[in-house]
Amino acid sequence: MINVALFGFGRIGQMHAENLNKNKEIKLLYIYEKIDQLGNKAKKLYGCKIEKNYNNIFNDRNVDIIFISSPTDTHIKFIEEGMKRKKTIFCEKPIDLDINKVIKTLRKVKKIKPKIQLGFNRRYDPGHFSLKEDLDKNKIGKLEKIIITSRDPAPPAISYLKSSGGIFRDMMIHDFDLCRLYLKDDQINEIHAFTSSFVPFYKRIKDHELAVVTMKSKKGVICVITNSRHCSFGYDQRVELFGKKGMLISGNKKENSTELFNSIQTNSQKPFLNFFIERYKDAYNLQLKELISFHKNKVKCRSTFEDGYQALRLANAAYKSLRLRKTIKI
């Protein structure tokens, strides 16, 4: 059995705990959680050790994998502690909101070469990843354009938004990462960002309700990303790759594809799967499957610390473009 310590039992941590607990190769040994209400809930559900002192976890030689889903400002600290103890590490995105801290840790990562998997779950989505496989097989010829749409059904809690780092570092960072996945060795060298907010509280917390980013790669590929914090018809997730010889699309998942025709309406379907936990259920399980194989030295990791740094770099460039109201050269 592989012993895992989960850090953080918030919304995303609870989803990870359920997946870890279901996996037959894993024993959920610890959950690090400082909030008593959440810790008590975790203890009742999984019966594992609940810790408030993270040093007790890192000092336990029986722990094989450190699974970080705690608040963003703890990520670097836990990653570095895990590296010191030679643990396999999973960390949710973003690595940190301060890119200078990320760069400092990246230098250590390159020197020590620890096992770290970054939580870019969309790389593991069967549909989204199949686009890369088909692109590699030259099914659409030379890539010319990437279009990504990502719309949440409803915004997170205001308390979360205040500390999230904003729409580019919290939400669009997934789409920056997907663009890099499809571009492969090509790199983004221009970026221009636009935002808008129709609900006043976004301005009060210095965040944005809607965002559009256009980017251009060194080889001339145009990337267009559209994000929204709300969407009345569900969790809208689409990727389109346009090439010289054709187009590839990874679309939305629906609860079912039944169409209704009656005297009131025609061609009506239920909304798209309501949020990321349902939409990317398969992706999260495949991500965990890879983490186990990665720990056993059977595979290379699909999402690395370097990927986390590069996505944050693009997010920061988007904010710079927004602030200066012009296209930014990277």
Q: Which two tokens stand for residue 277?
A: 């936990």
Measured between alpha carbons, how far is 313 from 164 in angstroms, rounded to an integer? 16
pLDDT at 259: 53
> What pLDDT, on a 0 to 100 scale, did the predictor assign at position 267?
53
pLDDT at 218: 98
The ranges of the chain with pLDDT < 50 are: 258, 260, 265-266
Reading the block at residue 266, the tokens are 């025609």
Which one-letter DSSP state was computed for residue 74? Answer: G
DSSP notation for 223-246: EEEEEES--TTS-EEEEEEEETTE
Tokens of residue 293, six digits = 């194989």
pLDDT, position 252: 87
Please report the pLDDT score of residue 275 as a whole number: 79
Domains and CATH numbers, the chain: 2-114 (3.40.50.720), 123-276+305-329 (3.30.360.10)
Containing H/E element for 76?
Answer: helix 75-84
pTM of the predicted protein model: 0.94
